[in-house]
Amino acid sequence: MKNQAEEEEIDKAIPLFEAPTTEALEKLEILSSFLIRSEFKKENPYEELMKGLSQAGTLEAALFLFPEAKKNTRRQPLKCPEEIYLMAYLSGGQVGSQKEFDCVKTSDFMSMVPNASERMTQIINVLYLGEKQVGLFVNRFTAEFMVSGFHSLFMDQICNAIRTIANEKQIEQMKELIEENTEAMERNDSVLDRFGTEDKLTGCLNRRGFFSKAYDLLKRSFVEGTYAVVSYIDMDSIKSINHFFGRDEGDLAMKKVASILREVFGQESILGRIRGDEFAVIRISEEEGCSESLRQEMSEQNMKLMTEQEKPYLIHLQYSICEFCFDKSLSLKEMLAETDEHLKKMKKIEEIRS
């Protein structure tokens, strides 16, 4: 015969009455609004899901995922994985800290559910993405689950959030793959200049040579306490020189610019002609702020080109010089993109002034 204390514990474990429908709908609305606003791009996006559940009033929950999704259909029944991972959990309404995902035998997964030893009723939900079973979701049975349709709508939101997280991860993986392929292509470069690494006209590196040498320089010399200086130089007057004075004059102008860039940036820099009218430079310095002296030197050289030119045309350079302190996560692509964006802004400013 149960004593009074045991009966009280059972009363707490199993709600006697269903919650008002308005309260159940409000809980769903809070959860839905939170999940819609969430981006799920954090280190553990599943903890973000738990935050939404906590805001909606959920006290106890645990999310388990299999190492990989498994088909579970009539023709192909699930072969239950031996292991399952605890991805995130709620305990007393608080999101548990989960720096590393805990692995447990699938048969023992309930041992990882927070407060599982306490007297309460738990719902074990199977998680599906399409035909594939991805894991299990365990949550405390509360009065809202006695409202007709609540459980189905509640789990729809959980599954949609997990689907969103899976999609975000696929997108990130695709981005990484694209970046890796882009870097490989930049190393191999285009068909046009795959033979050799030198630009025959100026004696500088060609596009392929520049990226190959730049990657090697960063890997070798861009370390703690150093700074990378990256520059884009656009010879915007070359088209008009070629058009009005011929290709030969255009070639002479291009050689002159290459010579000036060597003088300004020095032999320790990697200088390349990466497009018909565009040069790129990268150098590593132990001196912070060296980009400022380079800007000053480029400004003076640009002025000389426009005022001391012996030819019946002007050579004008548009350029951007950016400096980056060491960061092991910083890539050449990111530095070039920021420098290019700065050059575009400089061009717009010149257009407004003119």
Q: What domains, with CATH codes, occur in the chain? A: 4-172 (3.30.450), 189-353 (3.30.70.270)
Tell me which of 37 and 234 has the higher pLDDT: 234
Q: Assess whether pLDDT exceeds 70 at residue 16.
A: no
* Model pLDDT, residue 286: 92
Expressed in percent and rounded to 5, the helix, strand and coil fractions of the chain are 50, 20, 30
Pairing of strands 227-234, 102-105: unpaired
> If pLDDT is split at 50, 70 and 90, which confidence band does 40 have?
confident
Tell me which of 266 and 194 has the higher pLDDT: 266
Tokens encoding 85: 């991972």
Average pLDDT over residues 261-282: 93
Tell me which of 113 and 190 has the higher pLDDT: 113
Q: Assess whether pLDDT exceeds 90 at residue 233.
A: yes
- pTM of full prediction above 0.75: no
Distance, CA of 47 to CA of 123 (rounded, Å):
20
Size of the chain in residues: 354
Q: Assess whether pLDDT exceeds 70 at residue 85.
A: yes
* Model pLDDT, residue 192: 45
H or E element at residue 285: strand 278-285
Q: Which residues pair with 279 in a beta bridge?
A: 233, 273
Tokens encoding 190: 């285009």
Average pLDDT over residues 117-138: 84
Least confident stretch, 150-154, 181-185, 195-199, 313-317: 181-185
> Do the beta carbons of residue 304 and residue 264 sit within 8 Å?
no
Tokens encoding 184: 């490989």
pLDDT in tens, 157-215: 898 888 888 887 777 767 666 666 665 555 554 444 445 788 989 999 999 899 999 99
Least confident stretch, 170-174, 192-196, 257-261, 275-279: 192-196
Cβ-based neighbours of 150, under 8 Å, separated by 6 or more: 24, 28, 144
* Model pLDDT, residue 218: 93
Residue 135's region, left for phi above 0, alpha for psi from -120 to 50, else beta, is left
Q: Which residues pair with 273 in a beta bridge?
A: 279
Tokens encoding 33: 């609004």
Average pLDDT over residues 254-276: 93
> Do the beta carbons of residue 127 and residue 134 sit within 8 Å?
yes
* Model pLDDT, residue 202: 93
Nearest C-alpha neighbor of 128 from the set 165, 153, 151, 156: 156
Distance, CA of 72 to CA of 128 (rounded, Å):
9
